Amino acid sequence: MDKYAIEGTPKTPSISFDLAGGVLEIKGRSIPENSIEFYKPLVDSLDKYSSTAKPATTVNVQLEYFNTSSSKCILDVFKKLEGIHKGGSAVTINWHYEEDDEDMLEAGEDYQAIINVPFKMVMVAE
Amino acid sequence: MVDVFDIYDKMERNNVLLSFKGEITSDLLTSILQIMENKMDTMQEEPKMKKKVYNVLVECLQNLYHHLDEVTEVEMDKNRSAIFMIGKLESKYTIFTGNYILNENIQGLKNRLDEVNALSKEELKEYYKKVLNNGEMSLKGGGGLGMIDIARKTGEKLEYNFLEIDNKISFFTLNIKVSSQQN
């Protein structure tokens, strides 16, 4: 399997992970009651990817809303990416936030402070 | 006979936009969030406020959802029932939630709420990062992040009350204000 992709729902984001191209995209809303269950397949595919990682890995996160239950799972995803970064693939996390959404920008900065991977804060016009 | 007008009148005076009493299910939360989102669109709420209210609502409702079992497992005659209300007076939204809690769990919750209420904006940010990064994750939710997140996003103190029902359970109410005049 060189691609993991799922469609978004009102409570969960769309995820597209192209393992062959080294591009991961998470978009939409992440407010499920059970986030661990939702994020487990992605964490598993990151484990798989880590042994065959491309020289560069690009991660695009563009979330409109996420709950605190997801925030721990997103951290787990980022920790996997940190491992992949240490393993020699140059990881960049592009954290998107809407122009007026200071809370989302701050959330990105929280992760940036915890995770040892280059972050880019990308402002999106509404 | 229930005095329906009395209930109506109270809700009207508090400008209640939506209220619900009953079993909190995952589908119900999806519906409530959808309704509130549509309402705020219709009211032409500013996007920033809309996002804040939506985020805080999600945390409040999921708190209810995750903690209902605690009481029903011990007190079989209590159903998985809770109350939720959201109102808007002037430019300020207020979210009320109420649910049963085991008396033995009160002190722990009270301590956590008081701890959050004692922190400044900057301290809340540091505390959030610490709890986020401590590696513990309860199977049910965000492992204690919810209240910190609500306090951080609203910039308001969490108002709460415990009303003792009997020697086993109490009714816990939480009152959250969301206004645009902060940060």
Mean pLDDT of B48-74: 87
How much is the pLDDT for B126? 95
Mean pLDDT of B134-161: 81
| Biggest alpha carbon–alpha carbon distance for chain B | 53
Closest CA to A38 of A50, A49, A29, A51: A29
Compute the distance between CA of residue B77 and CA of residue B71 in angstroms, rounded to an integer.
10
User: Quick check: A83 and A117 in contact, CB under 8 A?
Assistant: no
Residue B162 belongs to domain with CATH number: 3.30.565.10
Closest CA to A33 of B132, B136, B141, B28: B141
Compute the distance between CA of residue B45 and CA of residue B37 in angstroms, rounded to an integer.
10
DSSP string, B14-83: TTEEEEEEEE--HHHHHHHHHHHHHHHHHTT--HHHHHHHHHHHHHHHHHHHHHHHHHHTT-TTS-SEEE
Taking an 8 Å cut-off on Cβ atoms, the answer to whether A67 and B129 are in contact is no
Residue B58 has pLDDT above 70, yes or no: yes
Place of tokens 């206004």: B179
Residues of chain B contacting residue A126, judged by C-beta atoms under 8 Å apart: 47
Residue B70 has pLDDT above 80, yes or no: no
Residue B183 has pLDDT above 50, yes or no: no
Write the ipTM: 0.92
Q: Does CATH place domain A3-124 in 3.30.750.24?
A: yes
Say how many Å lie between the first and final Cα of chain A, rounded: 35
- Tens of pLDDT along B79-95? 678 999 999 988 899 99
Mean pLDDT of B99-109: 92
The whole-model pTM stands at 0.91
As for how many domains chain B has, the answer is 1
Residue B76 has pLDDT above 70, yes or no: no
Taking an 8 Å cut-off on Cβ atoms, the answer to whether A72 and B47 are in contact is no
**How many inter-chain contacts (A to B, CB under 8 Å) are there?**
69
pLDDT tier at B78, thresholds 50, 70, 90: low
- Which of A65, A75, A106 is opposite residue B54, by nearest beta carbon? A65
Mean pLDDT of B161-178: 94
How much is the pLDDT for B75? 66
Taking an 8 Å cut-off on Cβ atoms, the answer to whether B141 and A100 are in contact is no
Q: In the structure, how many helices (H) and strands (E) does chain B have? A: 6, 5
- Which of B58, B139, B148 is opposite residue A65, by nearest beta carbon? B58
For residue B127, give the chain A residue with the closest CA: A110
Mean pLDDT of B137-157: 80
β-bridge pairing A90-98 and A119-124: parallel
How much is the pLDDT for A76? 94
How much is the pLDDT for A74? 96
What percent of chain B clears pLDDT 70, i.e. is strictly above it? 89
Residue B42 has pLDDT above 70, yes or no: yes
Residues in chain A: 126
Residue B1 has pLDDT above 80, yes or no: no
For residue A103, give the chain B residue with the closest CA: B153
* CA atoms in the 13 A half-sphere facing the CB of B43: 17
Place of tokens 């209810």: B64
| B50 within a domain of the structure (yes/no) | yes
| B183 within a domain of the structure (yes/no) | no
How much is the pLDDT for B136? 62
Mean pLDDT taken over chain B: 89
Helix pair angle (A102-114, B121-133), 10° resolution? 50
3-state SS string over chain A?
Answer: CCEEEECCCCCCCEEEEECCCCEEEEEEEECCCCHHHHHHHHHHHHHHHHCCCCCEEEEEEEEEEECHHHHHHHHHHHHHHHHHHHCCCEEEEEEEEECCCHHHHHHHHHHHHHCCCCEEEEEECC
Compute the distance between CA of residue A33 and CA of residue B79 in angstroms, rounded to an integer.
20
Residue-level pLDDT, tens digit, chain A, 126 residues: 689 999 999 999 999 999 999 999 999 999 999 999 999 999 999 999 999 999 999 999 999 999 999 999 999 999 999 999 999 999 999 999 999 899 999 999 999 999 999 999 999 987
Residue B25 has pLDDT above 60, yes or no: yes
Compute the distance between CA of residue A102 and CA of residue A108 in angstroms, rounded to an integer.
10
